[in-house]
């Protein structure tokens, strides 16, 4: 690795106190750019992820629908716990499945069923 100031700043600049605002500004500029559309990213998603002892619990929401889908993604080596996605449009949701618009209730439901 070289020792020029430019290279050092590119590599370690994000570690400088106060650089958060600069990085946040760069991310906001990208978020507002046409790059998302060029990549086919035209739909806004909200996303939440939680680590459980045996895998990951993911929630994602299409902004227009306002309802969350829940996905269980088990760790490797968990053959008795297959991955599954629960979508608000599913006809076969479990009887105790919470309101799909309540993210906190979905997280609690996921912890109850998959957090063992």
Q: Does 32 share its domain with 57?
A: no
Q: What is the dihedral of CA 33, 19, 5, 3, to 10 degrees?
A: -100
Q: Does 30 share its domain with 51?
A: no
Tally of domains in the chain:
2
The reported pLDDT for the residue numbered 37 is 60
Q: What count of other Cβ atoms lies within 10 Å of the Cβ of residue 110?
A: 21
On the CB side of 10, CA atoms within 13 Å amount to 7
Mind listing the pLDDT tens digit of every residue in the chain (116 residues)? 567 777 777 777 667 776 666 667 766 666 655 555 655 554 556 888 888 888 888 888 866 677 888 888 888 766 565 678 888 888 888 899 999 889 899 989 988 988 76
Q: Which two tokens stand for residue 45?
A: 């998603």
Q: Which domain holds residue 88?
A: 45-114
Q: Does 27 share its domain with 70?
A: no
Q: Does 25 share its domain with 71?
A: no
DSSP-derived letter for residue 15 is G
Please provide the DSSP assignment of 40-91 as one string: T--S-EEEEEEEETTEEEEEEEETTT--EEEEEEEPTT-TTS--EEE-TT-S
Q: Does 34 share its domain with 49?
A: no
| Whole-structure pTM value | 0.55
The angle at the Cα of 88, spanning 69 to 77, to the nearest 5 degrees, equals 45
């Amino acid at each position: 690795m070289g020792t020029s100031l430019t290279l050092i700043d590119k590599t370690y600049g994000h570690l400088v106190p106060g650089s958060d605002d600069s990085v946040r500004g760069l991310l906001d500029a990208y978020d507002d750019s046409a790059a998302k559309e060029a990549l086919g990213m035209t739909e806004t998603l909200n996303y939440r992820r939680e680590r459980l002892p045996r895998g990951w619990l993911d929630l994602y929401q299409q902004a227009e629908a306002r309802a969350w889908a829940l996905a269980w993604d088990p760790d490797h080596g968990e053959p008795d716990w297959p991955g599954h996605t629960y979508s608000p449009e599913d006809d076969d949701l479990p009887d105790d499945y919470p309101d799909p618009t309540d993210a906190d209730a979905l997280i609690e439901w996921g912890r109850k069923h998959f957090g063992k």
